[in-house]
Structure 1
Amino acid sequence: MCAPSTLLLQLTTIGGTRQRGQPNVKVYAVVGVPPEIQAYAMAKYSRSAQSMLESIGELSTQRAEQFLDTFYFQYGHRSIADLAHLVLAVEDVSILAAVRVVDEPLWDGQERSTRYQPFKKTGYFTPPELEGEVAARYREAGDALFTAYDGLTADLLGLLVEVVPRPAELDPKGFERTLRARAFDVSRGLLPLATITSLGQITSARVLERQISRLLSDPLPEVQRIGEALRRACLEPAEEPYRNGGEPVRAAPTLVKYTQPSPYLIETRRELESLAGEAPRLLGPPDVGRAVELADDESPFDEAVATLLYRADPVGHSYRQVQAAVRAMPERRKREVLDLAVARRGRHDELLRELQVGYQLKFDILMDYGSFRDLHRHRRCVQVIQEPTPDHGVEPAADVFPRAFGAEVAKRALQTGLGERYDWALADGLTRVRELSADAPLAAPYLLPMATLARALFKMDAAQAIYMAELRTAPAGHFSYRRVAWEMYLALREHAPELAALARPADPTEVFDLLQR
């Protein structure tokens, strides 16, 4: 039975005038019950007149597992897994892997911030598969970026403290802390995607099941290992026992036990990438002239084909370029692409995310990876993410510094040579990535600096576009995503001025206060 010491209730009754014999409405919180027992107790509402408290009181872990085995796996009632929520920590992984971990639409969690924490102490991830001279080159490149990051952070902070007046009401520690965050906003661009980070997540067992299968199917070995570690964390007994005794706890021993790599995801990805490999020859070089483009209207059929090819594009063409290629395709060829996307789909496989079509607003965004990492947290939209590549390059300090610090402070920073150091470190980093790609194609992307431009397609409705425009243009935000969100707003204003008029964004080109947080 469920150990009484694990159950905490806050019981509230709703009174008022009621008919004779009619019970009071009861609302209570249930805390400390293992996730699968909680799922069982909630699922019993559809099959029993018992209260949840009564159901929990008579349950055992074994009985819950038997129930879930029957109804979840044999009868296919997958919604039961939505009732079990799990808290999991994923620590000491690379930023590149963390982005893939959190790439779930129904994901809630938090990751370490590059604005408020120095990453010098955490170091960076080195793929254990690397050996000998290749491993030495990898570490040399990682060390160079971290050295540049540490030095630039210190010198930018020193400059800001020197030139920004401290208000009398702001104490010296708070003043320096605020300016350090502004310095980090720029210097984080030098951090490689191998930088170690940590995150915590809260998901339902159904989302977790899909997440684990997706991670196990990822081409990166680090990501596969994270998927397996998440699986074990749910199946194996907790290392920390109950403080008050009781049987060992396993987070989700039943609901995720059958998670495996998905042949559908693995094979379909491989075949689509092979098909999209023709893109460089057919489309020419990628268009990197605009940070934000609102895609043209198209039929759902064309959108599905274009999104599939966009996601698999090996060199990162814009969505507009891919759209043009799809419009020129014969119907038979489009049908072949769509059929390929479902040919290997099994009975329990969900459709690919690329097939989520029909959205009125599709923003193709080319932004630095650090800002993509920030915008990636938005869940009320469909995100189709291209693989990171050094080929899109970076923005120069002459463009970055004025957005980060304002014209006057940026001028001082550039005059003192900080801009040259920033540009040189990034150019050197991208050169090392290209050189390493031939010998270690899976390891090389880890060394991409966070300032590297990356491309992703964000599909959404107008309400989400307005929400992002308002939230992400706020003066306290990072200068890079403020610009992206503002350009999204301008594109919306041109496309749907009546709806854009409802938004209240802040123009990032206006003078801003470096001390505003």
Structure 2
Amino acid sequence: MSERPTPRPVPQHPENTTEVYAIHGAEPEVLAYAMAKYSRSALTLRESLAEISSQRAEQFLNTFYFQYGHRSIADLAHIPFAVEKLSLLAAICLVDETRWDGQERSTRYQDFRRSGWFTPELATKQRKLYTHAIEDLFKAYDSLSAGMLSALKRAIPQPESMKADSYERTLKARAFDAARYLLPLATNTSLGQIVNARTLETQVSRLLSSPFAEIRDLGTKLRNAASEPAWNAQRDKLEQLAGEGSVAADATTEILNELMPPVRTAPTLVKYAEKNDYQCKSRVELAQAARELMKDAPIYPAPIVDLLDDDEDLEVEIATSLVYPHCHYSYRQLRGAVASLTETRRNELLKLGAVHRGRHDELVRAFNAGHGFRFDILMDIGGFRDMHRHRRCVQLLQEFSDVHGYDEPVCPGQPTLAEAGLGEQYRDAMNAALAAYRTVCDSGEPEAKQSAQYLLPLGMRCRSLFKMDFAEALYIAELRSGIAGHFSYRRVAWEMYQAIATRHPALAGLFRIEDVNVPMDLLKR
């Protein structure tokens, strides 16, 4: 009779053993490696971090991220950056990422007179013209801010229940809302961003591929910032204490070297971020395709917000989207030209958007198609900057130019420029800036077309295409129509709502919308 096998002990599983803890102090690349090990090891994160060195993390990332293409690993490394004294134009390009988190200086709550501005490489004659035009815009911005504040104070007395500083601050913000139309794209701003390393890599590559020298330089600086030792606030404070004699110098050195070694946030994950040939070559060829398609046809008038048809063939939408960022025509006018092409010619256009795609390149953004709601929007650049912050949608932006003219700040319930005695001054400032823009644009300077764009004020109109689902359309319309918002994008949000309500009446009642045509209490924020 054979022996019966000894039964294996049944593992005991204590109940309610879930553990949650926050993590602080690990280098971003090391932390990404430690989290990636969850799929390859039974170790806890504490155990993983205890045994991982930065060298092992680099070796792991070189193998799995670059060789095997496991790009999601880079999503686990989040890095904060400060980007200071860059132009508004460069800031728009920098933040043009669908996976981006950050904050920029506000034109509503800060006076931009002291910001300074960016000057591109120009010959002496054009540089003088450029500098004079920028200085004139800032003078006009200063004058309009003061003039509108005075007009607001005359129109809106201070309530007895409102403190004087709160009253002054609120009306100043309203005055800046109007004055910002005169800020040129050259104006310096600052922003902070916290991005994962995958977004950082694509961001750096995109910036290095820009036709603007400032933006290419920004890409290099961003890559260097991720590769060099990061600024450590605690180390900085300790060095300050040592300098004041509060801590012994030898103790300071030991603590810094042992407990606060220099940290390079993402040297491995950005080391291959270079100029993207796919984007550069596609941009040139698609711009040429747009010129051949439209043959200098006049630009037809279009509404501020155009909700496009939702029964369009996918091939037509993608082909139209491919050429949209490379011209100044409305989507509807472009689509008419694309739809009239033969199937063979349209297919050639589709292939043009992908022919230069490399092994690890994502398709250019125009291929993000098939969304239920597509809005072709024509609005001032300042208002677009606020709309640009909405990430849960696809955005295609056309180049800034003088093609669409400029807006004047008009807010229901607020004194108009004419009522404030500022209308002629505003138009003179805008027209002078446009004259300087055209002179620089036609100067024959290297990158003249790019350099001239810095002279365009935020009041100039630009065209952009927003693709989204219904939930995002409702979110944007509700948020941006609120009375605390800027009157420019409030109008756009209202038009988005109106377009959806007309086409889908059953959905209109779901919106909690503010009617932007009703004069509001300008002291409410």
1:339 maps to a residue whose letter is: K
76, 79, 91: which one aligns with 2:72: 79
The whole-number CA distance in structure 1 between the counterparts of 2:301 and 2:25 is 51
243, 247, 269: which one aligns with 1:255: 269
Change (3 A) 1:115 1:404: farther
Task: Describe the SS at the equivalent of 2:192.
Answer: strand
Task: Describe the SS at the equivalent of 2:84.
Answer: strand
Measured against aligned partners, the alpha-carbon deviations of 1:138-179 in whole angstroms (never above 9, x if no partner) come to 101111101100011011111211220212221111101000
The whole-number CA distance in structure 2 between the counterparts of 1:290 and 1:126 is 34
Matches within 5 A, 1:113-192: 113-127=106-120, 129-192=121-184
2:52 maps to a residue whose letter is: L
Query: 2:304 corresponds to which residue?
Result: 291
1:309 maps to a residue whose letter is: V
Tell me, yes or no, if the aligned pair for 2:302 and 2:330 is still in contact at 8 Å: no
1:53 maps to a residue whose letter is: R
465, 473, 476: which one aligns with 1:468: 476
Query: 1:16 corresponds to which residue?
Result: none
Measured against aligned partners, the alpha-carbon deviations of 1:118-139 in whole angstroms (never above 9, x if no partner) come to 0000011101x21210111110
1:480 maps to a residue whose letter is: S
The whole-number CA distance in structure 2 between the counterparts of 1:166 and 1:220 is 47
C-alpha deviation, 1:239, in angstroms: 4.9
Percent identical pairs in the alignment equals: 51
1:360 maps to a residue whose letter is: G
Tell me, yes or no, if the aligned pair for 2:148 and 2:420 is still in contact at 8 Å: no
Tell me, yes or no, if the aligned pair for 2:294 and 2:337 is still in contact at 8 Å: no
492, 499, 523: which one aligns with 1:515: 523
RMSD of Structure 2 on Structure 1 (CA): 1.6
Query: 2:31 corresponds to which residue?
Result: 38
Measured against aligned partners, the alpha-carbon deviations of 1:322-341 in whole angstroms (never above 9, x if no partner) come to 11111111111101111111
The whole-number CA distance in structure 2 between the counterparts of 1:344 and 1:43 is 32
Does residue 305 in structure 1 map to residue 298 in structure 2? no
Task: Describe the SS at the equivalent of 1:120.
Answer: helix
C-alpha deviation, 1:429, in angstroms: 1.2
Measured against aligned partners, the alpha-carbon deviations of 1:7-63 in whole angstroms (never above 9, x if no partner) come to xxxxxxxxxxxx754571100000121100110110010011000011111111111
363, 374, 378: which one aligns with 1:366: 378
The whole-number CA distance in structure 1 between the counterparts of 2:116 and 2:87 is 10
Task: Describe the SS at the equivalent of 1:186.
Answer: helix
49, 54, 61: which one aligns with 2:42: 49
Change (3 A) 1:233 1:117: same
The whole-number CA distance in structure 2 between the counterparts of 1:378 and 1:504 is 18
Does residue 378 in structure 1 map to residue 378 in structure 2? no
The whole-number CA distance in structure 2 between the counterparts of 1:231 and 1:481 is 34
Task: Describe the SS at the equivalent of 1:357.
Answer: coil
The whole-number CA distance in structure 1 between the counterparts of 2:48 and 2:55 is 14
Does residue 66 in structure 1 map to residue 59 in structure 2? yes
509, 513, 518: which one aligns with 1:501: 509
The whole-number CA distance in structure 1 between the counterparts of 2:116 and 2:398 is 26
The whole-number CA distance in structure 2 between the counterparts of 1:28 and 1:416 is 58
Q: Which runs of 4+ in 1 moved over 6 A?
A: none
C-alpha deviation, 1:289, in angstroms: 3.7
The alignment covers a number of residue pairs equal to 488
2:38 maps to a residue whose letter is: Y
Change (3 A) 1:234 1:416: closer
Length-normalised TM-score, structure 1: 0.92
Query: 1:414 corresponds to which residue?
Result: 418
2:184 maps to a residue whose letter is: P
Tell me, yes or no, if the aligned pair for 1:123 and 1:195 is still in contact at 8 Å: yes
Worse-superposed segment, 461-470 or 489-498? 489-498
Task: Describe the SS at the equivalent of 1:447.
Answer: coil
The whole-number CA distance in structure 2 between the counterparts of 1:20 and 1:61 is 35
Tell me, yes or no, if the aligned pair for 2:478 and 2:513 is still in contact at 8 Å: yes
The whole-number CA distance in structure 1 between the counterparts of 2:79 and 2:287 is 34
2:171 maps to a residue whose letter is: L
The whole-number CA distance in structure 1 between the counterparts of 2:518 and 2:264 is 54
Query: 2:338 corresponds to which residue?
Result: 326
Query: 2:249 corresponds to which residue?
Result: none
C-alpha deviation, 1:70, in angstroms: 1.3
1:427 maps to a residue whose letter is: N
Query: 1:202 corresponds to which residue?
Result: 194
